[in-house]
Amino acid sequence: MHPDKQESPGNRAYDIVEMKLADIHDLMEIEQLSFPTPWSKNLFEKELHSRFSKVFLAQSRHTEDPKVLGYICLWFVFDEAHILNLACHPHCRRQNVATTLLEHCFHLFGDSGTKKVFLEVRESNHAARALYTKFGFKPIGLRRGYYTDTREDAIVMFREVNYHP
């Protein structure tokens, strides 16, 4: 699906919502299952209170207690956005959850006047690199030894936001 054409929300089994403190437990489960060195609960709590940060969740709508299926964490600085973290529960991967989260963000970027989006991705994370490439991100640099847990390099990726009201 093209990043500028969002799937109808009524056709999905989940909603995209902003994270609340009550969501941290579900988010932490995904974080711990997804990354060799997961962020701490405290770091996510700080993101909740930062005026530069937004965390969006893909949250199941078919349960009494909505379950977090995936999340994306962003920073906004002037006319730039930085994708800090994107992850889905292992049971929800390859089901367009990450794609929908990115689509949501690109609509937000356009509405907020964001002109540039940056991210770092592990060199070995081919699935994430393919997703970002699908969204028009291009590699622009390399951060050697960026990931302290493995000393793996990070590929810096960039995309301009083209928004036409």
Pairing of strands 116-122, 80-88: parallel
Domain ranges, residue 34: 9-119
Can you give the CATH number for the domain in which 73 is found?
Answer: 3.40.630.30
**Rounded to an integer, what distance in angstroms lies between the CA atom of residue 153 and that of residue 20?**
32
User: Is residue 105 within a helix (H) or strand (E), and if so which, with residue range?
Assistant: helix 97-112
* 152 inside domain: no
Instruction: Tell me whether residue 126 is in a domain.
Output: no
Residue 2 inside a domain? The answer is: no
How many domains would you assign to the chain?
Answer: 1
Kindly state whether residue 49 falls inside one of the protein's structural domains.
yes
Question: The whole model's pTM is what?
Answer: 0.85
Q: What is d(CA 5, CA 145) in angstroms, rounded to the nearest whole number?
A: 36
Give yes or no: 147 in active site: no
DSSP secondary structure string for all residues of 77-100: ETTEEEEEEEEE-GGGTTTTHHHH
Catalytic residue of the set 14, 31, 103, 132: 132
How do residues 82-127 score in pLDDT, each as one tens digit?
A: 999 999 998 888 888 999 999 999 888 877 888 999 999 999 999 9
Q: pLDDT for 13-41, tens place per residue?
A: 788 999 999 999 999 999 999 988 889 99
Residue 132 annotated in active site = yes
Residue 159 within a domain:
no
Q: Is residue 145 part of a domain?
A: no
Which of these is catalytic: 31, 45, 120, 123?
Answer: 120
